[in-house]
Chains A and B, each alone.
Chain A
Amino acid sequence: MRADLEIIREWIQPNSRLLDLGCGEGELLEYLIKEKQVKGYGIEINPDNITSCIEKGVNVIEKDIDKGLVSIRDGSFDTVVMSHALQTMHRPDLIVEEMLRIGKECIVTFPNFAHWRVRSYLSARGKMPVSKFLSYTWYNTPNIHFFTFKDFEELCVERNIHILDRTVVDHEHRHRWWIHLWPNMLGEIAIYRITR
């Protein structure tokens, strides 16, 4: 079980309507359909992932999220999730706004670019960090916006977005007590639950 699924599960109401943006192979949806009997839809752009979702029995819609979600009605989902995809969006701020329009609550997870290992890589080597977790080079990375917990929370303040919950974990989505001593330095992944 992926640890982040466990965390997200806590925030999902049984029998609710869920939209998973960038649902990948549909693990989260498959899990929540089984555990919480959600009515779930995934949006995905990668053809191989679409086939995987179909094989899993998950509802999947082939769509480029960057081209907008205008056809989805306001407040038509209880929860909209975007897991590890916000940094790949052309305009993350507009996507967050769209998520909040469609969903009553949103869950966003993203990698923290202010983690100490990233900071030390950049300051010591003077090069964009490449790690097992962020394994791309600067020119081919799908992660086109790097940001930190602080950056995201600033955006939330600016746009009047209410943070309901925040969890900070390591790269395997495990809780570590010491992360909470200095989350923006020690945390690798943030999981936010937000609303308007």
Chain B
Amino acid sequence: MPTEIPHDSVGLVSPQTLRFDTPLTLACGRSLDHYELVIETYGTLNADASNAVLICHALSGHHHVAGYHSMEDRKPGWWDSAVGPGKAIDTNRFFVVALNNLGGCHGSSGPNSLNPATGKPYGPDFPIVTVVDWVHSQARLADKLGIYQWAAVVGGSLGGMQALQWSITYPDRIRHCIVIAAAPKLSTQNIAFNEVARQAISKDPQFHNGHYYEHNQVPKTGLMLARMVGHITYLSEDGMREKFGRELRSGKINFDFNPQFQIESYLQYQGEQFSTAFDANTYLLMTKALDYFDPAADFDNNLTLALSQAQCQFFIASFTTDWRFSPERSREIVDALIDAGKDVCYTEIEAAHGHDAFLIPIPRYMEVFSAYMKRVHTGGGQ
């Protein structure tokens, strides 16, 4: 709870809901006739609407990126460290737009919202949306806000994949593409981890094939397990050892099956928290969107050819101990961009935090990110 709002915070913010009534045809072949997107904006759109920055969220993110909803909030938005006055994405310069993606569970149309056709929650009947679908919906959001071209589209992890997709799908509507801790597609191992998470959820007796809302139940155990396995992939081995080691909660081994090591109770706590705040169907959908992401697939599996569509400049960043989307994966993007003759800057940040590092204000990370955003602001580059 902030006793007072920090000077470099966007302050108290409130989300708004925008309604869209033009049918959106999705990659799966189905279409959404009506949908809603919840957004937050920070800063001011300039007269020629040239200073807008779109922030795309990752698997469990949402529209509340920065600032506080009330003075009672325990924590600010999920990327408050990078968004605010004087921060890397400087709200004195940029008009920042953040949304909850379609299929999300924080207010935008998704499995837990009412299906107008039935009057009941969509549940598993909500179409599986893809990164491309999200990008199309975000383009419509831009239209509604009077923004033709984003100064930058920014994202980490799955958010970075959306930024990358923007550069290919709407080349003339994006000037800078900022892709942090992402990959050009998931590895087999990534998909394997996602499948463990999905199995944990769908095998939970309270899942009811996704119709748990009607039973007033939540597949809490499954969601918790899914988050726990996910969380392991977000941390690095070194980071985990540094933070928890083999510390025992009570100082001694108890010879029972209750959590005794600190890491056990930490994971359980994370899973527990998550399972009360997140929707299981959304989790399934988000992991599928990740698995399906593969922009090169439409271009003969040639990433260079896919990125040849782009007209923007790129900033790519990775973190040394990230093994979920390792630096090698970012380098695949960089190599393809150089091959395609696109403007690109790439940095590999030394960090112990694993994949989670993209959310942490590591000094060097914030320094290069700020330097690049200054370039976005001044319009510099080759």
Contacts and interface: CB of A to CB of B under 8 A. Distances in A.
Interface of A: 17, 33, 39-41, 47, 50-51, 53-63, 71-73, 76
Given A40-B382, A50-B368, A51-B368, A57 B375 contact: yes
A67 to B, nearest CB: 11
Contacts, number: 55
A96 B168 CA distance: 36
Contacts of A71: 331, 335
B374 A55 contact: yes
Contacts of B372: 54
Interface centre among A17, A41, A51, A54, by most chain B C-beta atoms within 10 angstroms, is: A54
11 contacts: A40-B382, A41-B338, A51-B368, A51-B371, A54-B315, A54-B371, A54-B375, A58-B382, A59-B343, A61-B346, A73-B339
B125 interface: no
A50 B372 CA distance: 11
A54 B382 contact: no
B381 A61 contact: no
A63 B335 CA distance: 12
B238 interface: no
Q: Which 8 A-B pairs have the closest CB atoms?
A: A57-B380, A54-B371, A71-B335, A61-B346, A57-B381, A62-B347, A62-B348, A51-B371
Contact of B368 (A54, A61, A73): A54
B341 interface: yes
B58 interface: no
B177 to A, nearest CB: 14
A59 B176 CA distance: 13
B334 interface: yes
Contact of B345 (A17, A40, A53): A53
Given A33-B382, A55-B374, A60 B345 contact: yes
B364 interface: yes
B344 A76 contact: no
B367 interface: yes
B346 A62 contact: yes
Contacts of B368: 47, 50-51, 54
B367 A59 contact: no
Contacts of A40: 382
A193 B331 CA distance: 29
A63 B346 CA distance: 9
A167 B364 CA distance: 39
A34 to B, nearest CB: 10
**Which range holds the interface residue count of chain B?**
20 to 34
A58 B382 CA distance: 6
Contacts of A72: 335, 338
Contacts of A47: 347, 364, 368
Contact of B341 (A17, A54, A55): A17
Contacts of A61: 334, 338, 344-346
B339 A50 contact: no
Contacts of B331: 71
A59 B344 contact: yes
Nearest to A47: B364
Contacts of A60: 345-346
Interface in B299-340: 315, 331, 334-335, 338-339
Interface centre among A40, A58, A62, A73, by most chain B C-beta atoms within 10 angstroms, is: A62
A72 B337 CA distance: 11
A55 B375 contact: yes
A92 to B, nearest CB: 23
A59 B347 contact: no
A54 B376 CA distance: 11
A47 B367 CA distance: 10
A182 to B, nearest CB: 42
A70 to B, nearest CB: 10
Contacts of A57: 375, 380-382
Contacts of B346: 60-63
Contacts of A50: 345, 347, 368
Contacts of A53: 345
Contact of B339 (A33, A54, A56, A76): A76
Contact of A55 (B335, B364, B371): B371
Interface centre among B334, B341, B347, B375, by most chain A C-beta atoms within 10 angstroms, is: B347
A71 B375 CA distance: 27
B382 A39 contact: yes
A71 B333 CA distance: 11
B382 A59 contact: yes
A71 B374 CA distance: 30
Nearest to A56: B380
A61 B331 CA distance: 9
A168 B160 CA distance: 48
Contacts of B344: 41, 59, 61
A39 B341 contact: yes
Nearest to B369: A54
Nearest to A61: B346
A61 B343 CA distance: 11
A109 B362 CA distance: 36
Interface string B171-185: 000000000000000
A75 to B, nearest CB: 12
Contacts of B347: 47, 50, 62
A42 to B, nearest CB: 9
